[in-house]
Structure 1
Amino acid sequence: MEALLVPVVEALGYTCWGIEYLSQGKHTLLRVYIDHPDGVSVDACAAVSRQASAVLDVEDPISGDYTLEVSSPGMDRPLFTLQQYADCAGEQAKIRLRTPYEGRRNFQGVIRGVEGDEVILQVDEHEYLLPIDSIDKGNIIPRY
C-alpha cells in the first residue's frame, strides 16, 4: 500500500505520516495520514483523496468495498515508525502492544527515544524497551 500511496502524497507536496488498513467484516477502512509543516487543510485532504482514489482504482490492491479516508495526524497523532518515536522524544504517549509484556499490554509514559529497534518509554520511575514490531498502536497524548 505504501508503494502505491506514498508517491501520490509526496507528489502533491505532503508527507505520508502513515497508513492504516482496518478490516472489520464488511466494513474496510483505508486511512492515509498526511502532514505538512504549514498544517493540513480540508482541501489538501480532498486533493490527496482524489489522486489516491485514482491510483487505487487502476491498481485495485483491495478486493471488495472499502472506504478511503485522508486526514491529518492531528494532535493525538498515531506513531508508525521508529523515526517518528525518536522525533517525539519528550512527549507523553499511549502505547498498546500486540501481546503482553510483563503482564500488561497498555503503557502510558514519556518517550525517551529509541535504541536499536526498540522504543524507550518511561512509565513513572521505570524505563521500558518496547520492540517496534510488538507495538500494535502508539499515539501522542496532546498537551492542552
Structure 2
Amino acid sequence: MGKNVTAVVEELVTPILAGLSIELVDIEYVKEGSNWFLRVYIDKEGGVDIEDCGAVSEKLSKRLDEVDPIPDAYFLEVSSPGIERPLKKEKDFHWSIGKRVQVKTQEPIEDTKIFEGTLTVFDNGMLTIEEDEKSYQIPYDKVESARLAFVF
C-alpha cells in the first residue's frame, strides 16, 4: 500500500465529517494483543454524541468497504477525544487559548519538560503558558505532545 493507513483514512473521512460539520481530531491504527484497531476521534462545537459517532462510523465503514485500503482485519471505533483532548495541529492550539493544557517538550526548557497551565497566547510559532504566576515561552516545534488538562 502506497500511503499509510491513517493518511488513507483521513482522505476518506474528511468529506464525511465536512458534510456533518464535525472536525477530525486524530486517527490511530494500532495493534493491541492480536487485534488491530482503527480509531477515529471526532469533535464539534458543544461536543459530539453517540448519534454523531454512529453516523460517522456507518458512513466511514461503507467507504472503507468500497476502497478496502487495510489488508488486516480490524475493529473500527469512532469516538470523542474525551475531556483531555490531545492537541496535535496548530489549529488545536489556537482553539485552546484560554484553556488549561499540559505540554511535554522534546528537551528541557527552564529545566523542565512538562508544563501545565493556561495557554494564553499562540503566535508566531510560540506558545505562552501561564503557570502559578509564571509565564513560559515554548516553541511549537519543540512540543513532543500536548493535551487539554482537566482539573478535578
SS in 2 for 1:90: coil
Note if contact 1:19-1:30 (Cα within 8 Å) is conserved in structure 2: no
Question: Identity of counterpart residues, as a percentage?
Answer: 26
Which of 93, 103, 110 in structure 2 is aligned with 1:85? 93
Judge which range, 77-86 or 20-29, deviates more.
Answer: 20-29
Amino acid at match of 1:3: E
In 1, Cα distance between equivalents of 2:147 and 2:55: 26
The residue matched to 1:78 in structure 2 has which SS? coil
* Matching residue of 2:136: 127
SS in 1 for 2:119: strand
Q: Once the two structures are superposed, what CA deviation does each residue of 1:104-130 show, in whole Å capped at 9, x if it has no partner? A: 443212112212233332333131223
- C-alpha change, 1:128 and 1:19, in structure 2 (3 Å) is same
Aligned with residue 23 of structure 1, among 23, 30, 35: 30
Residue of structure 1 equivalent to 2:67: 59
TM, length-normalised to structure 1: 0.77
Distance in 2 of aligned mates of 1:75 and 1:122: 20
In the alignment, structure 2 segments of 5+ residues that lack a partner are 1-6
Q: Distance in 2 between matches of 1:58 and 1:70?
A: 18
Q: Residues of 2 paired with 1:27 and 1:121: CA distance? A: 39
> In structure 1, what is the Cα distance between the partners aligned to 2:129 and 2:36?
32
**Is 1:76 aligned to 2:84, yes or no?**
yes
From the superposition, tell whether residues 73 and 63 of structure 1 become closer, same or farther in structure 2 (CA, over 3 Å).
same
- Superposed CA RMSD in Å reads 2.5
Give the TM-score normalised by structure 2: 0.74
- Which residue identity lines up with residue 130 of structure 1 in the other structure? P
- SS of 2:73 mapped into structure 1: coil
Q: Where does residue 142 of structure 1 map in the other structure?
A: 150
Gap regions ≥5 residues in structure 1:
none
